[in-house]
Amino acid sequence: MNQTGLIDEELLLQWNKNLRSVLLPHSIFLAVSLIVSAVGNTIVIYIYKFRFRHTKDGRFFIPYLAVIDMLACVSSCISSLFINYYPVQYTNNALCKCSYTVSYFFSANSALMLSVIAAQRFLKICRPFKFQMSGRRKGFGIVIIIVASSGTSVPAFVTFGISSVRNTSMNITGQYCTSINVNDSNMTSLVYNCTVSAICVINLCFLCTLYARIGNKLREVRQRRLQRIATREKWSDADVFTSETEKNSVTTLDKQRRHTSKKVTEMKYRITFMFFIITFAYGVLFIPTFAIIIWDIINVNPWIVQGDVYIVGFRFGYTVFIINYLINPLVYSLFDSDFRRELRKLSFRLC
């Protein structure tokens, strides 16, 4: 290698080192997210799969969602850490393509799993006496999710890869992992990411529609239950011919029934609201990410040659959806009392 080549190599190494330092806060965020997601979702899998003898119908998909969330977080964090460590010295084209394809695959799995869960909650609450998801149908739903996720993620192997980037001030050229031009045009990458974004929006609208109907149904059930309680109390007070013993017996039995009915209804509320919170987080965190991805494709100047603040902000915005994989264990602990009880037992044993 001649003198000019050595200088260029040293300058490229220095540029890469500077960018790596700029991206250090984001790399720390990724490392922390990776650890938190791995620990949190492992606990969720252990408790829901091995500590509960009989998994309630509403909790059937939780361990599967935890596995998918953990794999999605691990793949996304590791691929992003590679990009941060080799921002302009990323030379492995196959690794770049595979990392984006795998990340898209598990992210699509997580999003579609939320739709299956919403459909199951809708059938359970809004149509309890009609078609329901049996164990076999739930397994078939998981297979459909895997096939659909494969179909939406495989094109990423074509639209992502290594692209050259020029630093005009240092007069050197680097390589980074990003959306690439296919046949000398960015149209393929743009169409693909717009299609994925549209699917994401449609999926979100589907989720919002189902949970709106579920919420309305639960409100109607609650109102009817309160009306029945008021009616029973009214007739109980008016029935002067019933003996005191009979009244006490009826009152005790009625209280037991009301307590059981109230407990079942509250469980439905908690589980449904729990999945609604998870779905809401998905919508809030994924839409900005896809908007930034599309912006990166149509933007003339790559993010990597912008100012330091822009670079860090871009990378945080690009990977903000990872938070979605961290909060699910927290949501379970807030809304599932059985999960909290088992978590306390596990904590005492570990301590």
CA–CA separation, 1 vs 154, rounded Å? 39
Q: In Å, how far are 1, 170, 253, 277 from 221, measured between CA atoms?
A: 78, 68, 21, 21
CA–CA separation, 169 vs 15, rounded Å? 11
- Give yes or no for a contact between 66 and 328, defined as CB atoms under 8 angstroms apart: yes
- Residue-number span of the structural domain to which 258 is assigned: 3-350
CA–CA separation, 281 vs 324, rounded Å? 6
First-to-final CA distance of the chain: 59
Task: Write down the pTM of the prediction.
Answer: 0.81
Two tokens, residue 2:
């001649």
**What secondary structure letter does DSSP report for 182?**
S
**What secondary structure letter does DSSP report for 48?**
I
The residues that bridge with 166 in the sheet, in sequence order, are 173
- Give yes or no for a contact between 268 and 126, defined as CB atoms under 8 angstroms apart: no
The tens place of each residue's pLDDT in the chain, 351 residues long, gives 555 666 678 888 999 999 999 999 999 999 999 999 999 889 888 888 887 765 555 677 888 888 998 999 999 999 999 999 999 999 899 999 999 999 999 989 988 888 888 888 888 888 877 777 777 778 888 888 999 999 999 999 999 999 888 888 888 888 989 888 888 788 888 888 888 888 888 888 888 888 888 888 877 877 777 777 666 655 555 554 445 555 455 455 555 555 445 555 566 667 777 777 877 888 788 778 878 878 877 877 788 888 889 999 989 988 888 888 888 777 777 777 777 888 888 888 777
Question: What are φ and ψ of residue 173, in 5° steps?
Answer: -125, 130
CA–CA separation, 73 vs 322, rounded Å? 6
CA–CA separation, 155 vs 182, rounded Å? 11
Q: What is the pLDDT of residue 307?
A: 87
CATH code of residue 275: 1.20.1070.10
- Give yes or no for a contact between 266 and 258, defined as CB atoms under 8 angstroms apart: no
Query: How many CB atoms are located within 10 Å of the residue 10 CB?
Result: 11
- Give yes or no for a contact between 306 and 314, defined as CB atoms under 8 angstroms apart: yes
- Give yes or no for a contact between 241 and 292, defined as CB atoms under 8 angstroms apart: no
- For the chain, the domain total comes to 1
Two tokens, residue 78:
């590791």
Helix count and strand count (H, E) for the chain: 11, 2
Q: What is the pLDDT of residue 101?
A: 94
